[in-house]
Amino acid sequence: MPKLVIPTPHMEAKVGDIAETVLLPGDPLRAKFIAENFLDHPVQFNGVRNILGYTGTYHGKPVSVMGTGMGCPSIGIYSYELIHGYGCKNLIRIGSAGSMNPKVKVRDLVFGMGSCTTSNYVRQFGLPGDYSCICSYELLEKAVAAAKEKKLTYHVGNLLCSDMFYTPDLPQTGMSWSDMGVLAVEMESAALYSNAAAAGVNALCIVTISDSDLTEESMTAKERQESFTDMMEVALALA
């Protein structure tokens, strides 16, 4: 791997500007929303490529939040730089996902215990087999406890991390992801989990179900904002 020089080509933060715990929404404007509505005394540390990042405190604990963009390559870059350049130890993705299981309803939370993937991202580590992308149990345990305390509806299990948002409608020739118990599909967890594992740090993907092809339901803008607030509060409780 090339040696990181701080600031990096993608981040203008200085060493010490970013907390060890960082929330990672895909949308940079959601990072701005979290900073302005949940953090005390937030300070912006990044604006390169409009990927907004902020550090503040939550209940007295330092917390950062930064957008990552969409897909494995994008979160792969930012999570790598946060870990190896800025010393981040707890990386928590918060985002939306589509249900792949009839028991997982719109507005439910899913904690990604594992991440299956159609991406080649993990294969580029050169492992002599197929790596199982899993989250940090330490963070998962805390997330479940926070969801129980808030009496939220949540599920724990496998995610599908897909490289494609618009997946072609191809004939099925074998088992489906849902047949194998996969709960929901998103686009970033496998890169985050594998980067964290390679560096020995903690990562967790928390998603809110925003739509379901099984029921043809989808959130309104108002419902999405309210449900995402639940997800943000659970994630912040992990700091």
Q: Which domains does the chain have, with CATH numbers?
A: 21-236 (3.40.50.1580)
Mean pLDDT of the chain: 95
pLDDT beyond 90 at 158:
yes
Q: What angle do CA 177, 161, 184 make, to 5 degrees?
A: 55
Give this prediction's pTM.
0.95
Closest by CA to 74, choosing from 52, 57, 51, 91, is 51
- Distance from the Cα of residue 57 to its chain's centroid: 20
Question: What b/e readout covers 148-179, taking b as 16+ CB neighbours within 10 angstroms?
Answer: eeeebebbbebbbbbeeeeeeeeeeeeeebbe
Q: Which of 108, 163, 179, 211 is catalytic?
A: 211
Which DSSP symbol is given to 171?
Answer: P
pLDDT beyond 80 at 3:
no
Bond before 102 cis per omega within 30 degrees? no
pLDDT at 225: 60
- Distance from the Cα of residue 71 to its chain's centroid: 11
211 is a catalytic site residue: yes
> Binning pLDDT at 50, 70 and 90, where does residue 227 land?
low
